[in-house]
Structures are given as structure tokens and as C-alpha cells.
Chains A and B, each alone.
Chain A
Amino acid sequence: MTPLEAFRDEVGATGPVCVRGGGTRWSVGRDPAADGAGPVREVRAPVGVEAFEPAEMTVRVGAGTPLVDLAAALAEHGQEVALDGPPGATVGGALMVGRSPLRRGRLGEATDALLQADCVGADGVAFTAGGPTVKNVTGYDLCRLLVGSLGTLALVGRVILRTHPIPEASAWLAGPVEPSAVSPLVHRPATVLWDGERTAVLVEGHAADVDDQMRRLSDLGMVPVDPPVLPPHRHRVEGGLSGAGVLEVGAGVVHRDEPATAPAVPNGVAALAARVRDSFDPERRLNPACDPHRVPV
């Protein structure tokens, strides 16, 4: 029996069940009230990098693999994926939480990272979403639906991810300037952060281009800094920064010290989302205590 078949059998066809990854973001989207509703069986997804093809820029990996282990395997060939997370976070966990990496300006969104997912449905039947190639419009895009779904539509055992070359050079700079003053001086920065007083920017790329951008930014009064430590809670904002916090410019995410509340969901969208969940999991047995609508951003 392959690890994937064992995973399918463990998930089975009856009873509340979820996948436990690293448990680093276990509270995301979780309804504490629903937690007391009854026991939910926890299963583990297969672990290990199965097939890394640097020349294809794809990697097939068990969803239970820690992100750091995947990163180490990819780094041997100068590549990386568009997923990040706290120490201990797994590939599957990062995909199910679905947050884009801080370096999204260079790596793109988490939703674009997933090419194929080997899943087990609520009926206990194994199926595959997406396809192995970097470009694919065959059938419905279930992979994008799965990213950020908190394991409520299907449980993911193994995935194929798109990889990216690790940039040759990178540098964090910060200084008392507005983001609008920074953007004309850089091209596709990996990320731009704004706390209301200072802008921090991460520039990446060819060494000479990074040096050149650093020179221009230092003329503006910015200096090299260590990667900033962000406040723990993510809040959804439209456009600019208001109040205390650190804005990911262009991402509509502010990191603050205090916890965020779930956003309002328009009725039509909520109804459609409920139909999607019912369609995939009519009995609500997959990770029943979690709801993606409870995630602030």
C-alpha cells in the first residue's frame, strides 16, 4: 500500500475528520464553539519530497512535509516555492491556510503555487485536482478552490508545486520615507512595508541590479536593515494604512498586535460558498470546526 493509499484509508468515509499539519496555525478559521461539538479524528498526510525536477521547475511532495525540509531540498538546486509559514508549518498546512508569502512581489500568490493535488473527498474516494504541468486549463480549477479552504472541501495528501529560481542577491532597506517615494526607484520589489512613519523594502535579483537599487534608496535616506519582525495578527484593509500596524503595500494586509475579526461576507457570496461546501461535503465531516469565512485575511 502506498502512503497515499494509507492516507485515503485513514480518512475513510465516515465520521468527522481533519488533517493535522504542524499545528502552527491551528486556530485559523476555527470556531471555538464548534470545537466542543464532538471529537474530530486527526490524520497525518504523507511526508517527503517525492520528485523534484529542477529543469521542470516543479516538485512533488507529501502534504505533511515541513516547509523547511522542502525549502532545503529545493535550495540545493537554487529554487524555492511561494509558500511561507512559521517554523514547523507543513506544505499542506500552508496551502490550506492559503496565505501568500511576504515576498509575493517576486514569488506571486500562494494560489498560483499549487499545480496538482492528490486528495481524498468527503466520500472517502481519492481524486486528483489540476495537472502536473506549469500551464494547464484542462477542466475546472479545483486547485485554486483548495488553496485557503482549510481542508473543508477535500483532504490533501500530496501536491505538485511550481518552483522559482532563488534570486542571486537580496537586501532589506528601511528609512523615514513614504512608499510612493520608493516605488519609482525599484522594479518589482519582493515586498514593501509601511508603518505610517517608515518604509521597509526588500529588493531582489541580479547582484548588480540590487546594488544599483540600494544606491538609489540610500540617496533617499534608507539604510540596510535586518528583516523586520511583523506584529502577529493580520487585518484586512482597503487601500492605505489607518491606525497602528504594518501595511503590506498593495496586498491589503495590515499586521497589528491585536487580533482581527472576521470580515463581513455579502449574502450572495456566503450562499454560493455554502453551496460549494455542501456540494463537496454534504455531511460537513471534513474539518467541521473550521470555516474559511472566519479568516480575517
Chain B
Amino acid sequence: MALGLYSRDGSVTRGGRAGVVCFPETTDEVAACVRIAVAHGRAFVPRGAGTGLAGGAVPCDDPVVVATTRMDRIHEVDVERRFAWVGPGVVNLDLTRHLTGTGLHFAPDPSSQQSCTIGGNVANNSGGPHCLQDGVTSAHVLAVEVVLPDGEVVVLGDEEGRAVGYDLRGAFVGGEGTLGIATRICVRLCEDPPEVATLLLGFARVEDAAATVSAVIADGIVPAALEIMDQRVVEAVEPFVHAGYPTDAAAVLIVELDGLPAGVAAEVERITAIGHDHGAGTVRVAADEDERARIWKGRKSAFGAIAVIKPDYYLNDTVIPRTRLAEVLAKVYEVVDERDLIVMNVFHAGDGNLHPLIVYDAREPGVMERVLEAGEEIVRISVEAGGVLSGEHGIGLEKKRFMHLQFTDADLVAQDRLRRAFDLHGLANPAKVLPTGASCGHVTSLGRPPEGMWV
């Protein structure tokens, strides 16, 4: 039963199998787990909360799973120098709560922040709505203590975020557990903004919302967050959160601006004008903190609320140039409609990060093939538009077969050079990220799910 639990993550990947699951509490214990695994020629797979969406934590071929959930201490918060040392098992939102009253916060805020861990955020270089202005996890990790794949312990970076020599800290973040295991993380803490304004704009056409996003960026405004939810999402979410989303709008745009009062006021005015120029039916500014909180609660609970429509979902994650949002979104709807499926779009529009969510009922015969086909087509369309395979979920098992769409063989060889320098024995979360790696025996990624399998 327990092993079964650790055989999967938040992705649709099934068929993984954990050999042994370890729950180390200290760096030395993590190093011991790694050394023992390597001494026996066994692979090891680091694991946080298991909320990943690309199969990065799915164990292939009975590896040693090293779960860092018990390393959940906040070791130190230095308010003056604005950093915190935390264990990899600290839940993202717990750090935010812990910092209440200090005037500081940890910026990355994935939708899974109630359960995902900071160790997982580091492994996946996670994002979130509020990463538009301040960057994803990589920009917020100053230093990281790592158990390397040979069991050696090193600290990469320092409390000022400076490398000695190569920026190995930067290379490690986003390594999806293939470069070692983070055991202590020094995160940058950002100043809370003195002023925040949250706007809700309703549009009769999704393209108009997308065009508004492009126009805002073109105007030189970089909001704190810039999110689009389409009508299906709004209709599913509104009954739960009562955020006052306009349910008659084809798309809702959430814009958050922060900073000093005059700048925020000026940008609210400019964005209101840009919205009206692009056909916004409604433009509302949240009146108070409660209204603001409800607007965000709706955005972040979107994936939970869709269960009322269909029992299963497949969430994609690609990035496209933000000047091409309207055109690519139209194609996404087309691809999905053609296959008689339902797609809901809720995404980080400001940085062009699409999250098409295909909802379906896996019991319907033949539906899986259509879902996978549509997913593949969305990836293809994104890359053709000048985009990339993933903006924040990573490659894991799910997308490694698409790596050749974006990279040449030579590009992948260069990436493999980095991996080999960290992982001499090829035992750190093998078979993930690069298509050149080992295969993953019995795991069913998105490739060909066997008949009758619950995906």
C-alpha cells in the first residue's frame, strides 16, 4: 500500500514501482541513502510532496525513493539580510505563513503551494502566478546544500547568491532530481509591496483577453501577475469561491500590480484603458483584501473545481511568445474541438505560459488516444510558434519524447554533459528529462497506455 503511494506523482504517468522508500531527517541520512543505493548499483529517486505534473518523481524499475518530507524545518530566517534556510520538506505555503509579520515573503507560488515542498520547487524550478515580475524559483534560491549522486555533500552558492567559480547553483535548480538531492535551501525573501491592486477584466472573446495581455507588456508594464481564465473555468470555480467573476464573459483576465502608490495608480489607469481599447466589458478593481483573496482563491482552486465537469484531466504546460497568445489559443481550441474533447484554459498569460487542461472521462472507450493526440499537437503548435516544451512543470517522463522538437542532437549532448558531470554513475533519477537516457522499464508515460488502464 505505502509503496503504491510512492509509485506515482501528480502526473498521469502510471506503472511506476518503488523498491524501497526512505524518510531521512538529516543531510547525513540522505547521503547514507544515496551511498547505499549507489553501492548496490541501484538508482535513487528524490521525492518531495509528489505533486509534480511531469512524472519526475515516478520511480522506474524499483529504485530507492528518498522522500524528504520529514526534513521540514525552517532553520533560520534573517529578516535584515532577507534570506531563510529551510529544509527541502518545508511546504511552500508554510514558509509564507511563517513569514507573516516580517514584511517579507517567498515569491514562487505554484497552485499546489498548499502541499508542494520547497525541495520540489527547487527540483522543478517551479513558477506560479506571481513569478511574472520576480522570476521563477531559480531567481529565489541563493544557495543550496546538495547531496551529489556520489554521496558527497556540497554547498552551491552563498547567502548573497554568489557563486565561487561556475554558477553550479543555477545549474542545479531545475535538475528534476537528476543532479542530486537538495538537503538545505537558502531562499531569497522579497519585500512585501506597500501597495497592491488587483483588477478583474471580463471579455466577450478569449482573443481580446489575450490581445490585452500582449498590449500591456508592449506598453512596458510588467505586472506582478497576469492570468487568464476562460469561461468554462470561471463557471466551474465561481459557485465555490463567489469571487464575483463575470460568468457571462468568454474570458477573465486577472491583473495584479504592486509597488509604490503612485506607480500602481498610474498602471491601474493604463491597464483599464488598454482593457477598454480591447473590448473589455467589465473592469473591476478589488475593493479590499477579502475581495482580492477570493479572486486568487478562485484562480488557485481551478484545477480542483473541474471535477464537476469530468472525472479526469490532463494538464499541459507550454510557453509561447506572448505576442502570439491570441493566435495560438485559437489553435488550441481548434485542436481539441476537432477531437471532440473539452479544454479549459487557465494560465499565466503574462509570460506566455499556457496550461490547457483537457477534461475527459477515462471510462469512455478510445478517449485516451484522442487526449494524447491533442496534447502532442498542442506541444507541436507551441514549439512551431517559437515556444518551448515547458514553462514550469518540467520534462520528467512525460515530455522527454518531445525534446527533439525543441533541441537538436548537439543541444541534447551539451545538456547531457552537465548531467554526467554531476551524476558519474547514472543512478540519479535515471530515465528522466533527456531522451538519450535509459528507458524506464514498465512505466507507462503518455506513450501508449495499455487497454483498460486507469490513466
Contact = CB atoms under 8 A, between A and B. Distances in A.
Interface of A: 53-57, 78-79, 98, 108-109, 111-112, 119, 121, 125-129, 131-142, 144-145, 147-149, 153-154, 164-165, 180, 187-188, 205-209, 212-213, 236, 238-239, 250-253, 263, 265-266, 268-273, 275-280, 291-293, 295, 297
Contacts of A142: 171, 414-415, 418
Nearest to A236: B162
B263 to A, nearest CB: 3
B259 to A, nearest CB: 7
Contacts of A78: 220
12 contacts: A98-B167, A132-B387, A136-B388, A138-B390, A140-B415, A141-B174, A250-B81, A269-B164, A272-B152, A275-B422, A278-B421, A293-B164
B241 interface: no
Contact of B388 (A125, A138, A253, A265): A138
B339 interface: no
Given A131-B388, A187-B259, A209-B261, A292 B166 contact: yes
A134 B135 CA distance: 9
Given A252-B160, A269-B168, A141 B125 contact: yes
A135 B164 contact: no
Interface string B308-336: 00000000000111110000000000000
Interface stretch (B230-238, B370-378, B404-412, B439-447): B404-412
Nearest to B353: A135
Closest 5 CB pairs of A and B: A144-B170, A252-B160, A206-B263, A208-B262, A55-B218
A127 B413 contact: yes
Interface in B289-314: none
Interface string B376-405: 000000000011111111110001000100
A134 B163 CA distance: 23
B82 interface: yes
Contacts of A57: 217, 222
Contacts of A147: 167, 170
Q: Which of B263, B353, B422 is the most central at the interface, judged by chain A CB atoms within 10 Å of its CB? A: B263
B417 interface: yes
Contacts of B415: 139-140, 142
Contacts of B434: 139
B341 interface: no
A131 B166 contact: no
A205 B220 CA distance: 12
B41 interface: no
A209 B391 contact: no
Contact of B214 (A55, A132, A205): A55
B134 to A, nearest CB: 8
B20 interface: no
Interface of B: 80-82, 124-125, 127, 131, 135-136, 138-139, 148, 152-156, 158-168, 170-171, 173-175, 191, 193-194, 214, 217-218, 220-222, 259-263, 266, 319-323, 348, 351-353, 386-395, 399, 403, 406-408, 410-415, 417-422, 424, 433-434
B191 A187 contact: yes
B317 to A, nearest CB: 9
A239 B433 contact: no
Contact of B352 (A125, A134, A209): A134
Contacts of A270: 165
A263 to B, nearest CB: 5
Nearest to B172: A141
A131 B406 contact: yes
Contacts of B395: 137-139
Nearest to B82: A250
Given A128-B411, A263-B164, A206 B266 contact: yes
B174 A140 contact: yes
Nearest to B215: A55
A121 B415 CA distance: 12
A140 B433 contact: yes
A135 B319 contact: yes
Contact of A135 (B155, B352, B411, B424): B352
Contact of B323 (A55, A135, A188): A55
B367 to A, nearest CB: 28
Given A55-B218, A132-B386, 12 more contacts: A55-B214, A56-B217, A98-B167, A125-B413, A127-B411, A134-B351, A134-B352, A137-B394, A138-B399, A139-B395, A187-B193, A188-B191
B222 to A, nearest CB: 7
A279 B136 contact: no
Contact of B168 (A108, A250, A276, A291): A276
Contacts of B406: 131, 138-139
Nearest to A115: B388
Contacts of B82: 250
A214 B218 CA distance: 29
A95 B444 CA distance: 42
B203 to A, nearest CB: 19
A139 B139 contact: no
B414 A154 contact: yes
Contacts of A126: 410
A69 to B, nearest CB: 21
A292 B31 CA distance: 28
B136 A137 contact: yes
Given A136-B319, A148-B167, A250-B160, A209 B260 contact: yes
B103 to A, nearest CB: 9
Contacts of B214: 55
B70 to A, nearest CB: 25
A168 to B, nearest CB: 8
A99 to B, nearest CB: 10
B260 A205 contact: yes
A192 to B, nearest CB: 12
Nearest to B434: A139
A295 B164 CA distance: 8
Contacts of A276: 166, 168, 171, 418, 421
